[in-house]
Amino acid sequence: MTTVITVPLSLDDETFEEIFEQLAAVSPEQKVLIDARRTRWASPYGLTALLAVAQSRAERAAFAGPDHEETASYWARAGFYRHAEAVFEMHGRVPRQREVPWESTVLLEITDVSASDDVHTVVERIQARAQAILVHELHLDPQATLRFAMTLSEVCQNIVEHAGQGGWVAVQSYHFRQRLGRHAVVIAVCDAGLGFRRSLESTPGWKPRDRWDDGAALEDALVRGVSRYRDPGRGQGLAGVRKFVGRWNGKLSIRSGTARIAIVPAWDDAVPLQEGLPHFPGAQVQITIPERVTAA
């Protein structure tokens, strides 16, 4: 029997919880159909997390894309269908990549990351495209482009080093009308691999503490810079990302297992640590960098 998983009308990091909730009630071996026919909009997190859903299923999941032509065309421009065809059993019309024009707001089309070479590719691509948007739209310092690429490199490496399988990254610029009222650039990196807790548990000699769960693992990794490797230089990638995001007044959130941790700027009202969420494997990262507001 196939279980239909309904994709919300508007798909972002918050509304994706509805999908995680529906999935948590279905065993991974059971066939699911991801029904996005009524969906009208998706953020990079939404699109990359959909691919991670396919990755999390033992039985190949079916997928029905948006009926709305403009939405489907946009998802194609973001590179979604190119990857979806590889991981889903596709239902309905699939727009061809060549049918759609290039989308200027897409800084990085959805790109799969499974090896260190993929990170090099991501960094090369983003440097070429990010400068104009970061400097002219977000009014960040020209040096920000390099730090932005460093940020992207570190979050992508998390997949290579800790997921145990591949994942996807996408970067896009937006006008965040409701939440922010300004432009922003969003990085999304999602996988359905090991996740933070299992990765840290693989540390040689690891022993559980009194409180040990997905939330504690995320706190260890993001707040205390703990890594599963014992080298003194490990664990500084996320610390560096956190520092840059803070400097840009941005938001960083990482969901893994049943918890989500966030570095929350003043413009957002997210909870710093959410626990007891529906379980989903791997790690789903989102970084939002808003337009800098300069004093008049």
Partner 1 sequence: MTHHIDVGSVLRRTVCDLYSNLVTRPTGAAVRREIEGVLAGLDSPSLTVIDFSQVGLLDFSCADEVVGKLLDAVHRQVIVTDAYVLVRGVRDDHLEAIEAVMQRYDLAVIVEGEDGAWRAVGPLDDELRRLLDVVQRQGRAEPSELAAALDEEMAVVKEALDRLVRQRLVMRDESAYVSLTSVM
CB of 8 to partner 1, least distance (A): 35
Query: Which lies closer to partner 1 via its Cβ, residue 30 or residue 153?
Result: 153
Structure tokens at 237: 């990638």
The DSSP element (H or E) to which 131 belongs, if any, is helix 116-132
Q: Round to whole Å and give the CA distance between 71 and 75.
A: 6
Query: Which lies closer to partner 1 via its Cβ, residue 66 or residue 237?
Result: 237
Q: Round to whole Å and give the CA distance between 16 and 194.
A: 20
* Residue 10, helix vs strand vs coil: strand
CB of 259 to partner 1, least distance (A): 24
Query: Which lies closer to partner 1 via its Cβ, residue 97 or residue 236?
Result: 236
Q: Which amino acid is at 183?
A: H
Closest C-alpha to 246, from 133, 162, 147, 159:
147
Q: Round to whole Å and give the CA distance between 59 and 153.
A: 32
Query: Which lies closer to partner 1 via its Cβ, residue 235 or residue 278?
Result: 235
CB of 162 to partner 1, least distance (A): 12
CB of 60 to partner 1, least distance (A): 31
Q: Round to whole Å and give the CA distance between 171 and 259.
A: 23
Query: Which lies closer to partner 1 via its Cβ, residue 165 or residue 236?
Result: 236
Residue 202 and residue 163 in contact, taking contact as beta carbons nearer than 8 Å: no
CB of 277 to partner 1, least distance (A): 29
Query: Which lies closer to partner 1 via its Cβ, residue 69 or residue 141?
Result: 141
Binding site for partner 1 (CB under 8 A): 116, 119-120, 123-124, 127, 143, 146-147, 149-150, 153-154, 157, 160-161, 231-234, 236-237, 239-240
Per DSSP, 102 falls in state: P
CB of 130 to partner 1, least distance (A): 12
Cα-trace Rg, the chain: 18
